[in-house]
Amino acid sequence: MTPVTRVLVANRGEIALRIIRACHEEGLEAVAVYSAADRLSPHVRAADLAVEIGPAAPSESYLRIDRLLEAARATGAQAIHPGYGFLAERAAFAEAVEQAGLVFIGPPSTAIRAMGDKTEARRRMRAAGVPVVPGADAPVTDLGAALALAGEMGYPVMVKAAAGGGGKGMRVVRAAEELEGALATAASEALKAFGDAGVYIEKFIERPRHVEIQVLADATRTVHLGERECSVQRRHQKVLEEAPSVAVDAALRERMGAAAVAAAAAVGYRSAGTCEFLLAADGSFYFLEMNTRIQVEHPVTEMVYGIDLVREQLRIARGLPMQVPEGPLAPNGWAVECRITSEDPANGFMPSTGRLEFLRVPAGPGVRWDSGFEVGNDVTLHYDSMVAKLIVWGRDRREALRRMVRALDELVIIGIASNQGFQRRLVSDPAFMAGEIDIQFLDRRPDLAEARPAAELTRLAAIAAALAEDAARHARKPAIAESDAAHSAWLATARSEGLR
């Protein structure tokens, strides 16, 4: 067992707060880091210690490896958890942590590097017997070779960044004359996002589902915790996730799970990770990539399997065995996660900024709210647009979706525009409720982004009226002087009535 008593969380917002809470439940102290813009963020207050690491721009704060390591040294932290985003999948960061004599709470840097290079990952997966989408095993550098490969596979094809993920550096090409422009655009975008302009080509599977498998590995065993359905996407960014998937039965779950375990074993994986697959209508599936970190959507797996993935990461990094039962596991119930973002769907999903003036968070049975914001915080353009994750659990999908509708109706956000109404329309849509989705679902349904002013204005007007009435009721209450309280006839009568 590696002695760790204090963990530095190299991230911000909801995932930083999530990790800090897990540290405290494991009996560990947590160190927060924050930029100047995040000085008043909840994750800073929740930590045992906090260190400012630079101005608002991520390039001068959360992406500065030197400042993160210095913060760890200054506070006596023995380990660093990267969360997701920022440096979480940078092998160079994991290596720097290891070389500094600290514990990296995640997979070995060698595994991150192997899976971070998408073409290298494809080669390794093919060697391990994991099905991969037909395509190139090396970055494409020559237009002629790209045209020949695309012609051999048949259009449409997908141009993808070799060094990244998350929808950056990706272009669908449906005809040969589109390929040159797509290569240039994808390479430029990949360079900006990942510092590497390498791109490769693979066959584009029409209308597949995006299904991912959660894996967890310690020093002695690797297990999978079922699938997450992540097909509802906008511009390759996930909007809503659920577990399990309506398209996956027990037999398919076991086949996909075995492939994910083989993928993890092929790179000597440790910690929590996710293998992403394309699932075709005929039940065939193909490896896309492995996310070598905790996922944004990890709560849906936690809710249906009853396992705290972040605490398991903390245990595995300290050399402890995972607390996952032996033998096959089955999901219990259904969980759905809506990403609540500061975007205006009716205005092309334009980012919205401002101060969070009022927030009413949904509650009740089976409802979870993961957020790094509270009233008074500023939502800026410096960071990702996600304000919170709203997660619900139900005994089956029908109950979970009904609960999500109720939770979205309870949610009130004032001060910024959000995609709350869009999510409410999505989870109520008949096609979505029937499970008729794939990764092009939102492309075919632009109507879901259209605001429906009458219903939404009525709801907001009702909320405003209730708040106004509450304020007026308080204003109408008679003021009683302290000295007169004991002799108030109406107060005595009220007490007498209350006791009857």
Query: What confidence category does residue 155 fall into, taking pLDDT thresholds of 50, 70 and 90?
Result: very high
What is the pLDDT at residue 165?
67
* H or E stretch at 142: none
CATH of 134-203, one of 3.40.50.1000, 2.40.110.10, 3.30.1490.20, 3.40.190.10: 3.30.1490.20
Distance CA 17, CA 52 (A): 16
Query: What confidence category does residue 364 fall into, taking pLDDT thresholds of 50, 70 and 90?
Result: very high
More reliable by pLDDT, 300 or 468: 300
Question: For the residues 472-477, what does the mean pLDDT come to?
Answer: 66
Identity of residue 52 = E
Check pLDDT > 50 for residue 479.
no
Q: How far apart are the first and last CA of the chain?
A: 63
Nearest to residue 376, comparing CAs of 359, 396, 352? 359
* H or E stretch at 466: helix 453-476
Question: For the residues 57-79, what does the mean pLDDT come to?
Answer: 98
Q: Please give the structure tokens belonging to residue 388.
A: 């919170």
What is the pLDDT at residue 490?
44
pTM: 0.84
Share of the chain above pLDDT 70, in %: 91
What is the pLDDT at residue 467?
74
Check pLDDT > 80 for residue 499.
no
Q: For all residues of the chain together, what is the average pLDDT?
A: 91
* H or E stretch at 36: none
Query: What confidence category does residue 38 fall into, taking pLDDT thresholds of 50, 70 and 90?
Result: very high
Check pLDDT > 80 for residue 481.
no
Which residue ranges does the chain devote to CATH 3.40.50.20?
Answer: 6-105
What is the pLDDT at residue 301?
98
What is the pLDDT at residue 465?
66
Which residue ranges does the chain devote to CATH 3.30.470.20?
Answer: 209-454
Digit-coded pLDDT (tens) for 103-119: 999 999 999 999 998 88
CB 196 within 8 A of CB 189: no
What is the Cα Rg of the chain in Å? 25
| Catalytic, out of 124, 293, 315, 424 | 293
Check pLDDT > 50 for residue 487.
no
What is the pLDDT at residue 436?
97
CB 202 within 8 A of CB 150: no
What is the pLDDT at residue 167?
74
HSE (CB half, 13 Å, CA atoms) of 135? Answer: 30
* H or E stretch at 439: none
Question: For the residues 157-185, what does the mean pLDDT come to?
Answer: 89
CB 84 within 8 A of CB 293: yes
- Region for 129 from its dihedrals, namely left if φ exceeds 0, alpha if ψ lies in -120 to 50, beta otherwise: left
Task: Tell me which CATH code domain 6-105 carries.
Answer: 3.40.50.20
What is the pLDDT at residue 457?
54
339 is catalytic: no
Helix/strand/coil percent split, the chain, to 5: 40, 25, 35
Query: What confidence category does residue 480 fall into, taking pLDDT thresholds of 50, 70 and 90?
Result: very low
CATH code 3.30.470.20 for 209-454: yes
Q: Which residues pair with 123 in a beta bridge?
A: none
More reliable by pLDDT, 106 or 134: 106
Q: Alpha carbon 227 to chain centroid distance?
A: 15
Check pLDDT > 60 for residue 46.
yes
